Structure 1
């Protein structure tokens, strides 16, 4: 239920209370950028649901690309290098790489490295861990880049760019920056990049005081929020933390966890997919694997198809407000935990492509059958 709405302010009644936001500066309208929903999480029962991210809601790939480019254009091309861009798992993996790729193409710099945090253990040198205290899955891992040259670049980093879909307290940025700082003795600058920034001026000042280097904030919208909890019983959060086993046998290619200078080319399995003009296609990423599916969606859109991008997630959200429909199924990483897709109905699209970085043995058969989908595997395919 909407309580009130105008160009800058919005208030909504959620399952656990009332959320009000005040937009103070924006490049694009509030309701173009995000909606709102209730999380099945007693630590934070509300959610800013991005309309340009391609995660919880289906988004046209051109809209996602526009958001990447707008944020990339806000990064100063003269920031001291080398620069490391870190995307936050799982929600901002695609956003982080999209910002990195857009900025790389705009700035023509070759000293930019993208890497993303992950929830999955690998038999690979670990640089640091940090906690996202309010999350449904709190622990993040950050691995050493695979290429020795990139290991040196990471260690020589002078500017750290941290990318997340939204910021409300800034605590995750503080935790991640200190985790990285231990491996970056030359660090001078930090830039926190988000689609929507709800921290407000006072919180910005507090966060700057806690950061280990000079810090700036970049977003498409800045504002503040207030949440008034109700006396409703707190939601029960499912266990979505995973079993902690090593996933090397599943994650055989580096799509960003071990550092990339530029995006990985699409494999033949994806390049072989053709689309008809006007065909309604949903391209689904799985978990932390979203940027290559986004690339595939852009390719199909260029063929004239009406394409949307979305991704499965371990984030538990209630139906209602801007979430219309919940489909639950098991994850594709052998954790045996529930995953979800939101606001998708069987028969809504002419074609659904579920994209996997994991082997064919991990295909989520109930999801594929329900949506009449085609699995597309990127892991061991030729490029």
Structure 2
């Protein structure tokens, strides 16, 4: 069983008056670089809890963007059930269910209504997948939205790596008969004070200028699956195998090399899957992803994040995105589902950050429906 001190560090949100702290999971592979096997093992432990209590049920898993998309896809792959993630991105020619995330820097979340129209009548239970649940309000918002729109008899549950809900919030969920699965129970009562005590004197670099530079090479992979649309765990898993096979066929790996596999914002699980395949083949691999979250960084050893690059997003050049604790590697694989016509400025911005850490061999892998 995991311990709180093993998994989390408390960081300070930047310019967020709603909540000044952020719980950073050191094994999740979002903000902190991690060995892929550690992240996937943790996700599978959560999946085992869900499976044990839901044998024979038809499940729809909903992973929350952006931090829980890899968790949700991994649990869906383990259970081989229906899966869809929330998104903040634009999807062409669809309608949305909207709901809010009150404490976040980016409050609007969406589910594609046409896919929910198909999935909900077939489901016995909808399970929301999160990295951490604190108040439960965001999930309750979408539950109310679903109940109002569909009048379905489907039941609900929540599965998260961490659960920081207080007794009042837990009691509310019990009254609604919403099951809770989690690996570690956390107590948030001191987190605000902990965050306030950090100096925020880490390394900050902004790379927002629009300069053209070039990756070592670019590979466009086929047969992409978009988890913003309804899919199935086995379908996603098979597609990720195909992604890995295309990458493995093109590149030659020296087993003594250090490799970084980097996902982009909501797009995490396929990149994590590839990173795991590399690690299983004997390579030294780390995985993490860019993020929308503006987090203060600090030089203090006890603080979870020490350096930050401020970049243009792969998905919208007007959006700021961030990358934390970047190091030097022998090879870097940036794996994204961003279409080429959306991402040139973001690609250049990230590449300049990678080169600033003296990374020289940087591959761009594009896995998207374009």
Q: Which TM-score band applies after superposition, normalised by the shorter structure?
A: 0.7 to 0.9
Q: More displaced, 198-207 or 290-299? A: 198-207
Is the Cα–Cα contact under 8 Å of residues 27 and 39 in structure 2 kept in the other structure?
yes
Counterpart of 1:16 in structure 2 is none
> How far apart in 2 are the matches of 1:231 and 1:322?
14
CA deviations over 1:258-286 (Å, ceiling 9, x no partner): 11112133336434334321321111000
Which residues of structure 1 form unaligned runs of 5+? 1-26, 105-111, 236-251
Q: Report the equivalent of 2:350.
A: 367
User: Alpha-carbon deviations, 1:283-327, whole Å to 9, x = none?
Assistant: 100011111101110111122111111000010000022111001
Q: How does 1:1-383 map to 2 (within 5 A)?
A: 27-40=1-14, 41-75=16-50, 76=52, 78=54, 81-104=57-80, 112-144=81-113, 151-209=117-175, 211=176, 214-227=177-190, 228=192, 254-262=225-233, 263=236, 264-265=239-240, 266-267=242-243, 269-272=246-249, 273-320=251-298, 321-345=303-327, 347=328, 349-361=329-341, 362-363=343-344, 364-371=347-354, 372=359, 373-380=362-369
SS in structure 2 at match of 1:95: helix
Checking the alignment, whether the CA contact within 8 Å between 2:57 and 2:125 is kept in structure 1 is yes
Shift of 1:365: 1.1
Structure 1 residues 186, 366: CA separation in 2 closer, same or farther (over 3 Å shift)?
Answer: closer
Q: Secondary structure at the match of 1:57?
A: coil
Q: Is the 8 A contact 1:285 1:312 kept in 2?
A: yes
Residues 309, 353 of structure 2: 8 Å contact kept: no
* In structure 2, distance between residues paired with 1:231 and 1:274: 47
- TM-score between the two structures when normalised by the length of structure 2: 0.80
- Partner SS for 2:146: helix
CA contact (8 A) 2:26 2:304 kept: no
The whole-number CA distance in structure 2 between the counterparts of 1:94 and 1:255 is 13
Task: Compute the displacement of 1:168 (Å).
Answer: 1.1
Distance 1:325 1:156, change over 3 A: same
**2:94 touches 2:112 (CA, 8 Å); kept in 1?**
yes
1:100-130, Cα deviation, whole Å (9 max, x unpaired):
11223xxxxxxx2100000012233324111
After TM superposition, the runs of 4+ consecutive aligned structure 1 residues lying more than 4 A away are 227-232
Q: Do the aligned residues in 2 keep the contact of 1:81 with 1:158 (CA within 8 Å)?
A: yes
Give yes or no for contact 1:356–1:377 (8 Å, CA) kept in 2. yes
Question: Is there any run of 5+ residues in structure 2 with no aligned partner, and where?
Answer: 201-222
172 and 94 in structure 1: CA distance in 2 versus 1, 3 angstrom threshold:
same
What is the alpha-carbon distance in structure 2 between the residues aligned to residue 159 and residue 344 of structure 1? Answer: 40
CA–CA distance in structure 2, aligned partners of residues 142 and 261 of structure 1: 16
CA RMSD of aligned residues (A): 2.4
Alignment partner of 2:118: what SS? helix
Q: Is the Cα–Cα contact under 8 Å of residues 126 and 141 in structure 1 kept in the other structure?
A: no
Describe the SS at the equivalent of 1:226. Answer: helix
- Post-superposition Cα deviations, 1:185-210, rounded to whole Å, max 9, x if no partner, equal 3334221111111113332002333x
| Residues 120, 152 of structure 2: 8 Å contact kept | no
SS, match of residue 62 in structure 2: strand
Supply the distance in 2 between the matched residues of 1:206 and 1:68 (Cα, whole angstroms).
26
More helix by share: 2
- CA drift of 1:153 comes to 3.3
**Counterparts of 1:43 and 1:218, CA distance in 2:** 26
Give secondary structure in 2 for the equivalent of 1:114: strand
